[in-house]
Each structure stands twice: as C-alpha cells, then as structure tokens.
Structure 1
Amino acid sequence: MNVRSDLNRKVVEVFGRLAIDKRRLLFSQLQKRGISAYVAEWVLESVVPGVGPLLPEEAHKVQDWAKRVIPGPKDQNIIKHRLSQGETVRVLTPVEVEVDLNRKKKPSHFARLRLLGIDEAYIPTELLEYYPDLLRHGMWGVVELSQLAEGTAILSFKPMQATVNLELFKDTRRSFSLEEWRALLLISMGYNPLAFNEEETNLLLARLLPLVQKNLHLMELAPKGTGKSYIYENISPKVRLVSGGNVSPAVLFVNNATGQWGLLARFAVVVLDEVQTLRFDKPEEIVGGLKGYLANGKLTRGGLYETASDCGLVLLANIQLDERQRPVRDILVEELPFFLQETAFLDRIRGIIPGWRLPKLSGDYLIGPDTEISVGLKSDFFGDVLLAMREDLGPDQYCARTVSLKGERPYKRNEESVRTLAAGFMKVQFPHGDVSREDFERFCLRPAIEMRQLVWDQLYRLDGEYRQYEHNLECA
C-alpha cells in the first residue's frame, strides 16, 4: 500500500479527539493488565488525552492511574477487604445487571462485577434508566463501590461511551482517497497498512463485515498465528469472543430453567474461536438451533421461548497447510467438529475468509514503535460507528438493484450472500455511498464473490444436490 506519511496529520485534522496515535497504546503497556484496546484507549483519552506519541511522563501518569483503578486477578480480596473496612473503592471493571423476578431477596435486579468476584451488588435503578446496555450485555466503566448494611453497593458509574454521529462520519470519508481510507481502517484495527497488499487488505477488512451487517455469519479458516481473533477481542464490548470451555444451548440460545437469553440474543457479534477445541454440549441441539437462527434470525429452544436477534456468528478454525502454504484438504471444513460439517448448516454461512492467504502476524504487521503511519480512530468510537452502520440500508438497496448472478436458475442463497457481503464491503469502504462501478466491482463485489465461492465449493463437493446449479459464481 502506497500512502503518504502526512495521512497522520489529515486524520487528526478531520477527526480531532476521535483520532489516536496507536503507538500510545503500545507504549502505555495497558493491555498487559488484561484489558482490551477499546478499554485501554478510553483510559488514555481520559487520563492523558492527546494524539502524539506517548511521552514518558504521560506513561508514568497512566500507569499510576492503572495501578490504583484497574484491578488485577490477585486484587479481589484486597478490594473486598478495603470495602469491609468502610472504604469507598473506585475501580474500572465490566458491569452486568441481571433481573430475577422470582428471587426472595429484594430488589430483583443486581449487578455482577466478575473481575472482582462480586456476584450481587446493589445498583440504583436510575443508572439502569440512563444506561440500558447494562441490562443487555453489560458495560465497561469506572464504578464507585461501598459496603452498606444491605451488602456491596454501586454508588456511581462512569461508562465508556463514544458519541456517534453517523451522518458526520459518512461525510468525513470525502476527505480521503480510497487508498487513504483503507489505510485508516487498517490502522484503526491495529495493523500497519504498509505491510499488506490489496488482496490481504480485503481479507482483513472482511473481518469487519459482521459488525456493519445484521445477521451476517462468517467462517475464517487459517493456520495459527494469523490473528483471527485479534480484532474481535479489541473492537467493542458488544462483540463477544468465546475461546475455550463449554458451549451449550443455554449459553448460545436461552436457559429454559431461568428464561435468561443467551449470547446470540445479547450481543451484536458472537465469535467462536478455535472451534475444534471448544466442548459442545448437546451438539445436535446446537446445530439444529443454529440452522434455524442462521436462516431466519429467530432464537428459540424447545418452543418455550422465542425472540428475534440481529447478532452475527463468526466461526474461527485452524487448518493445516502444505509446503506451498495452501490447505492440505480439498474439503476445507473436514477439520471442523463433525456436526458443523452438515451442508444445511454450511449453506447458511455467508462466506469463508481464506485466512491462509494472510501472513503470520509479527511485529512488522502490527502498529509498532517505528510504524510511520500510526494515527487511527479510537477503538471504542470505531466499534460503535461500525455497528451504527447496520442501520444504513442504502448499500443493501444498491446491491439488491445491481447485483445478480449468471445462470438460468441461480441459487437463491448464493445471490443473497453475495449481495450482503458486497453491501458490507461498501459500508466499510464507501460509507458516503459515492462509489464508481469500477471501484464497486473491484473492492466490494469481487471479494464478496470469492468469499461465497469458497462456501459453494464445499457444498458442491459434499452434496450432489447442489450440483444442479452453476459451479462458478459470476455476476450477470
């Protein structure tokens, strides 16, 4: 990618306080405290605001703040002891609120602060009215805690909250060339834009599609070390990464015993990382529920509860490569758990990101101390504005009008998938809607077809039913 070094200056001029030099995050060492980039950059902006490189005195100040406010895994008992001694304690932590109408202990709503090992803290109802996301998927923020006669209580809560003006964001796109904008997107994701070619940039941007498109379900297959989960860990608290442990129908869909909705109902994107190593309870029930959900966006389990959700599902899996760095197997999904290889399930996956075409991440590919172009969008704002793009239906309508597949009888899901993926690429790269037909075909439509073709290739090989349709996907 050939981008001039003055892009740093332009990003600051256009976005102001919403821009940040990503090297500040690196020098702050905040992520070593176990917090995501969207939290760490919020801390930087709150404690030592600025867009230039982090100065030594600023690094010292933010580290001092972190020691006092960000609890480590060994600090639970210390914080509880301070509370027991009547202290008011101020900590940065995720807060989740649950409501149990049947519980005998009042009030029926209570806060969980899992980093602190506190499962039932009193929280004022006014905070729930101000910040309803506490009830949906939880929020990160600075809380003041005290120990009252009734138990642990939250006295105040200052959330991480980016302000998103979607129309203003769209208009900022006009200040940048396409190459500059694609570089800005990579920097905002934490990557060095000068290290990737055009195809690799397309693949990295494809990881953003489930954020900008409702109910967009993807799979990424790659060897270890390509950073499949990196962006999902660091982009937004509304994206939930599941890595290790048990995955059950209650966790994904709904707990029939309590009526509590699972991850797919409460988050914008759910990512199952390294699916080969996850332990799935009742896999037949899981794949049955997923097939229904991926097809129509309805969540249910045994008919007891039903709701709609626009959550996207992303499956990340490792695959083996040969000496030419190509997949060993023609059937790419053979290394997935058997129940996820069912063609009726795979058909509902919109596209496959061929992560094996990306280089293994090293210092050269991420923002580092010597990265020349390093100013991007703050992660909390970047994640929120991408999610806000879900409500912009203009690109979807454009693709519905202009994209159709060749053939006498094109397969409906192929056409729908290509349109959805192309509209997602358009939202990410051309949010202002101003795109030439040539650029649309090169940067939106072609990558979309390639991603869906990989799914279609699997279906074609696994099930003769699909061979009644054209094998090669081409647009009319």
Structure 2
Amino acid sequence: MTNTDFAPQPLSPSPVGALDAEALKHLNAKVTEVFRSLAIDKRRLPASQLNKRGIPAYVAEWVLESVVPGQGELSQGEATRVLEWAARVIPGPSEQHIIKHKLAQGQTVKVLTPLQAEIQLKKGKEPERLAQLSLLGISDAYISDALLEEHPDLLRQGMWGVVELGALKDGVAVLSFKPMQAMVNLPLFKEARKKFTLHEWRALLLTTLGFDPAAFSEEQQTWLLCRLLPLVQKNMHMLELAPKGTGKSFTYENISPKVRLISGGNVSPAVLFVNNASGTWGILARFKVVVLDEVQTARFEQPEEIVGGLKGYLANGKLTRGGLHETASDCGFVMLANITLDDQQNPVKASLVEELPKFLRETAFLDRIKALIPGWELPKLSSKLLIGNDSLLTVGLKSDFFGDALIALREDLSAESFSAKAVQLGGDKPYRRNEESVRAIAAGLMKIQFPHGEVEPADFYRYCLKPAIQLRQGIWNELYALDGEYRQYELRISQAKV
C-alpha cells in the first residue's frame, strides 16, 4: 500500500451503538465458544469477594478457576466454598504471626502469596538461595535449586502461587510451589481474533479489563485501551494525567504480575536502576512495565540522579548507575498523576505538567515520553462503569491469560514493519522523535486491536494512527510551550499527504 492509503479519511458516524443489546448478548456465547476455558464471566470475581482479600484480579480469577471452575454467575454455594478456601490459604495482614506460630509448632502451611527468590554469593561460603514472602514478612526462607530451575521467573520479578512452607532448625523452607499458569499460544490467539468484528473485539477487550463497554464513548474506549500499550510495545513510556477517581491505576494493578505498580512512598535510584552495594538490579530491569502512581506527591530520593538516569534509559533502553553496572531493558515506564480540573472538566493549568515535580518538567525528560493519555476525558470510576448484573456483555478473557498474551505480542514485529511503511508525518522537516513515537503508538494499537495483522486503511487511520497522533500531540504541545527550541518545527502533528 502507498502512503496515500493512510492519509486522513472521512469518518463514518460513531459506531458506539454498532453493537445493540442483542448483539452484546450474543457476544457472550461467542466469546465462550471461541475461547472456551480461557473465558470467564467477569461477574464471578466481585461476587466472590476475593478482591477484598487484597489480591489482584489475575490472581483472583485463577483462584476461582481452581476452586469453583465453571461459567455463568457465581452461585451462593460456590461463593461460600471460595471464601472458605481463601480463609485457609490467603493470609490477611493480621495473620503473619499465627502462620509463624504454626511453623514453629512443626506444622506445614499452605498460603497463596507472591514468591521471589535471590542468590547470595559470599566469599568463602556456599551460595545461599533465599526466598521472600512479602505477605508473611519472611525474607530469608530456604528454597531448592530444583524449584528455581523449574520456575526461573522466581529469580526475575517473582511469581504468584500456592506455597507450602515448613520449619527447619534454623529457619523456614519452601517445600513446594504451585504457580499460576497461563499457557499462551499466540498463533491461536491471532486466529481467534479473526472470528470477531472490530467492534466485538474492542468490546471484548474492555470487558476483559472489567469495564462495561456500553458505558463509554468510542474515544473513551480508545483511551482505556491505550493503557495497554506498554504491555504490547517494548520501551513504551507514557504519562496519564487525570483528576482523582478515574481509575488510572485500576488496569495496571490487575493485568499481570510482570507489571509493577508503585503507589506513594520513597523512590530511590537503587529501587529503579541498581543497588550498587549489592549489584542487585532494580525494577526497571526485572519487570515488563513499571508504573509510578501519584507522581505529583511521590518522594524522590536524589531526584537529580533519578531524572538523569531516567533520561538515559528512556532514550536508549540502557540502565546504569555511576558507571558501575550497565544492562539493557525493554521495560515500559508509565507515570500517573492527578491534575486539577475546572467545573467544565477541563485542566485548570495552562501547562498540563505544571503540577508535576519540578525536575519532571524538564523538556529533555518530557521529550522522551512518547504519549500523554488525556485521562481528564474519562469519567470517574463507579459501579455503573464496571461489569455488573446490569451489563449485557459479561464474558471476557481470564486476566492472567490476557496479560501474558499482550506481553507475548511484544515479540511480534510485523506491526512495527507495517506502521513504519504506513506512517509518514507531514511538514517541511518533521521532528524525529514525534515520528518515532507516532509509529510506535500506532503499531501498539494495531497489536491490541488487530493482532492478526489484517486491517483496512480506513480502520488503521481511525483506530491506530489518529489516536497515536493525538497521544503524541499532548506531549508536543507541552514541549512547544515550554521551550522555544521546539518552535522551529510545526505545532500540529499530521500524517503526510502525498
């Protein structure tokens, strides 16, 4: 196809209502038929009350499938069995000492918890293999080589699963580990996409995330789907600004164990990059996506070192600190921040980044952020926006499977190739980072909505390229206003017309 195939197209009327009530009801059966055991009725999770146990959706849905497998709404009997199982296996914050007491009495204990392991090497001593169970306040449990070889992700970002613990004379040992498992067959995932129309697929994606697609306009649906970009695209760095209560962190905390959400507290160079004293790599090296929530109130230790290290990382994907250690990472970096709106729900400040910490307003740093999601255009999160008993479409994909499928799409470079040919920005001298960002965003939106690679030119423009330009335009507007150096280029980002 030529560049002209992807020039701005006249838009048809908004297809928000393209799926009527009957179509949505039919879609429930279709999703179940196509995805079978990988589909789940999203009403089962809130009915189970598992979310009140402090576990993310990708874990809770795995529990439901393990304890009370089935389709449709959760029955009272199933809810009771789940809660009884949770009371035995999911420890609450007040139960740490009870569990430790049982271990001290020689009992074995099974708990559902995140488990992370590390190897400590010391001169003249045997290597120590230590496991950390953060929910139990245990940081030095023994773990065998066999378990580490069987589950290498324990040494990376850690894994959720059912851990069996036993007491030793000098500590606690991990006796067995049953991890959450989601088998992803990417070719079959792509084939499944072919059985749905675009509007069906978008509705399915939103339902999978826990949102009622009928409660959002087409543009709002797109902004919600844009939150998935860092999962499908390597080194996708984004900023979302919105008032309180719009659910900015909702998607990230429930999508995958390979996404790390930091909400509040201190952020240090050792946490982000590397601990120079121990040589332990930070979260940007160990996770696929790192999300800093409430950036406007976060406390940054050594902010100059953090912003300097981030500028280098956002530009070239290299992690280093003081030149002592260096590695490459494809982790996406997302910042979420609250901003003030007026009574018309528009940002009060002329500069959208004015309420961010001062060092994050540096244009050399902002320029490396690819996209700005206009979260102020989304409604505040409420029960009416989430899947409930009044929703017509209630069946979505299981969260653990869906998160792994998105991350697997990172390795599919066909969308990047497609976007590189299709996207050429207009203007006498388009700014290089604008073009790179728009291409990366458009490729990511293609992976999310057209993972099978089949897309019509008008659909690529409307659902991939147009929103990609809007997301980068938000960053470009700030750069243009803050620094005269950028005004040698055109203000408006647009697709070239040939």
- Give the TM-score, by structure 2 length: 0.95
Q: Residues 389-414 of structure 1: CA distance to partner in whole angstroms, max 9, x if unpaired?
A: 00000000001111010012110000
- Give the match for residue 251 of structure 2: 231
Q: Does 1:464 align with 2:489?
A: no
- Give the match for residue 4 of structure 2: none
Q: CA deviation at 1:160?
A: 0.6
Query: For 1:328 and 1:63, how far apart are their aligned partners in 2?
Result: 46
Q: Does 1:394 align with 2:414?
A: yes
Q: Residues 109-137 of structure 1: CA distance to partner in whole angstroms, max 9, x if unpaired?
A: 21001111111111111111111100000
Q: CA deviation at 1:104?
A: 7.3
RMSD (Å), alpha carbons: 0.9
Task: State whether residues 217 and 312 of structure 1, in contact with CA within 8 Å, keep that contact through their aligned partners in structure 2.
Answer: yes
Task: State whether residues 129 and 144 of structure 2, in contact with CA within 8 Å, keep that contact through their aligned partners in structure 1.
Answer: no
Task: State whether residues 26 and 369 of structure 1, in contact with CA within 8 Å, keep that contact through their aligned partners in structure 2.
Answer: no
- Give the match for residue 123 of structure 1: 143
Q: Which amino acid aligns with 1:255?
A: N
Q: Residues 250-309 of structure 1: CA distance to partner in whole angstroms, max 9, x if unpaired?
A: 010000011000010000000000101110000000000000000000000000000000
Query: For 2:128 and 2:46, how far apart are their aligned partners in 1?
Result: 42
Aligned mate of 2:318, from 283, 287, 298 = 298
Query: For 1:208 and 1:139, how far apart are their aligned partners in 2?
Result: 21
Task: State whether residues 399 and 419 of structure 1, in contact with CA within 8 Å, keep that contact through their aligned partners in structure 2.
Answer: yes
Q: How many residues align?
A: 476
Task: State whether residues 256 and 399 of structure 2, in contact with CA within 8 Å, keep that contact through their aligned partners in structure 1.
Answer: yes
Q: CA deviation at 1:103?
A: 7.2
Q: Residues 24-59 of structure 1: CA distance to partner in whole angstroms, max 9, x if unpaired?
A: 001000010000000000000000111211011110
Q: Residues 310-350 of structure 1: CA distance to partner in whole angstroms, max 9, x if unpaired?
A: 00000000011111111111210000000000000000000
Query: Any residues of structure 2 matched to 1:162-181 within 5 Å, and which?
Result: 162-181=182-201
Query: For 1:469 and 1:244, how far apart are their aligned partners in 2?
Result: 37
Question: What are the ranges of 5 or more consecutive residues in structure 2 without an aligned counterpart?
Answer: 1-15
Query: Any residues of structure 2 matched to 1:257-406 within 5 Å, and which?
Result: 257-406=277-426
Query: For 2:169 and 2:205, how far apart are their aligned partners in 1?
Result: 50
Q: Residues 414-439 of structure 1: CA distance to partner in whole angstroms, max 9, x if unpaired?
A: 00000000000000000000000000
Question: What are the ranges of 5 or more consecutive residues in structure 1 without an aligned counterpart?
Answer: none
Query: For 2:78 and 2:392, how far apart are their aligned partners in 1?
Result: 21
Query: For 1:120 and 1:370, how far apart are their aligned partners in 2?
Result: 48
Q: Residues 44-89 of structure 1: CA distance to partner in whole angstroms, max 9, x if unpaired?
A: 0000111211011110111110000000001101001111111111
- 1:313/1:401 Cα in 2 relative to 1: closer, same or farther (>3 Å)? same
Report sequence identity in percent.
67
Query: For 1:327 and 1:103, how far apart are their aligned partners in 2?
Result: 57
Query: For 2:115 and 2:125, how far apart are their aligned partners in 1?
Result: 20
User: Does 94-103 or 167-176 show the bigger shift?
Assistant: 94-103
Q: CA deviation at 1:369?
A: 2.6
Q: Which amino acid aligns with 1:421?
A: I
- Give the match for residue 8 of structure 2: none
Task: State whether residues 178 and 429 of structure 1, in contact with CA within 8 Å, keep that contact through their aligned partners in structure 2.
Answer: yes
Task: Report the 3-state secondary structure (helix = DSSP H, G, I; strand = E; otherwise coil) of the residue aligned with 1:65.
Answer: helix
- Give the match for residue 15 of structure 1: 35
Aligned mate of 1:56, from 76, 96, 107 = 76
- Give the match for residue 74 of structure 1: 94
Q: Which amino acid aligns with 1:222?
A: A
Runs of 4+ in 1 over 3 A off after TM superposition: 103-107
Query: For 1:83 and 1:235, how far apart are their aligned partners in 2?
Result: 33
Task: Report the 3-state secondary structure (helix = DSSP H, G, I; strand = E; otherwise coil) of the residue aligned with 1:473.
Answer: coil
Task: Report the 3-state secondary structure (helix = DSSP H, G, I; strand = E; otherwise coil) of the residue aligned with 2:118.
Answer: strand
Q: Which amino acid aligns with 1:392?
A: D
Q: Does 1:418 align with 2:438?
A: yes
Task: Report the 3-state secondary structure (helix = DSSP H, G, I; strand = E; otherwise coil) of the residue aligned with 1:96.
Answer: strand
Q: Does 1:436 align with 2:459?
A: no
Task: Report the 3-state secondary structure (helix = DSSP H, G, I; strand = E; otherwise coil) of the residue aligned with 2:261.
Answer: strand
Task: State whether residues 263 and 294 of structure 2, in contact with CA within 8 Å, keep that contact through their aligned partners in structure 1.
Answer: yes
Q: Which amino acid aligns with 2:418?
A: Y
Task: State whether residues 210 and 269 of structure 1, in contact with CA within 8 Å, keep that contact through their aligned partners in structure 2.
Answer: yes
Aligned mate of 1:196, from 193, 210, 216 = 216
Query: For 1:104 and 1:277, how far apart are their aligned partners in 2?
Result: 45
Q: Which amino acid aligns with 1:328?
A: V
- Give the match for residue 268 of structure 2: 248
Q: Residues 186-223 of structure 1: CA distance to partner in whole angstroms, max 9, x if unpaired?
A: 00111001101100001000000000000000000000
Query: For 1:467 and 1:161, how far apart are their aligned partners in 2?
Result: 51
Task: State whether residues 293 and 299 of structure 1, in contact with CA within 8 Å, keep that contact through their aligned partners in structure 2.
Answer: yes
Task: State whether residues 469 and 493 of structure 2, in contact with CA within 8 Å, keep that contact through their aligned partners in structure 1.
Answer: yes
Task: Report the 3-state secondary structure (helix = DSSP H, G, I; strand = E; otherwise coil) of the residue aligned with 1:465.
Answer: helix
Q: Which amino acid aligns with 1:194?
A: A
Task: Report the 3-state secondary structure (helix = DSSP H, G, I; strand = E; otherwise coil) of the residue aligned with 1:372.
Answer: coil
Q: CA deviation at 1:370?
A: 2.4
- Give the match for residue 96 of structure 1: 116
User: Does 105-114 or 116-125 show the bigger shift?
Assistant: 105-114
- 1:461/1:274 Cα in 2 relative to 1: closer, same or farther (>3 Å)? same
Task: Report the 3-state secondary structure (helix = DSSP H, G, I; strand = E; otherwise coil) of the residue aligned with 2:280.
Answer: coil
- Give the match for residue 85 of structure 2: 65
Query: For 1:371 and 1:317, how far apart are their aligned partners in 2?
Result: 30
User: Does 466-475 or 365-374 show the bigger shift?
Assistant: 365-374
Q: Which amino acid aligns with 1:239?
A: V
- Give the TM-score, by structure 1 length: 0.99
Query: For 1:438 and 1:105, how far apart are their aligned partners in 2?
Result: 65
- Give the match for residue 3 of structure 2: none
Q: Which amino acid aligns with 2:167?
A: Q
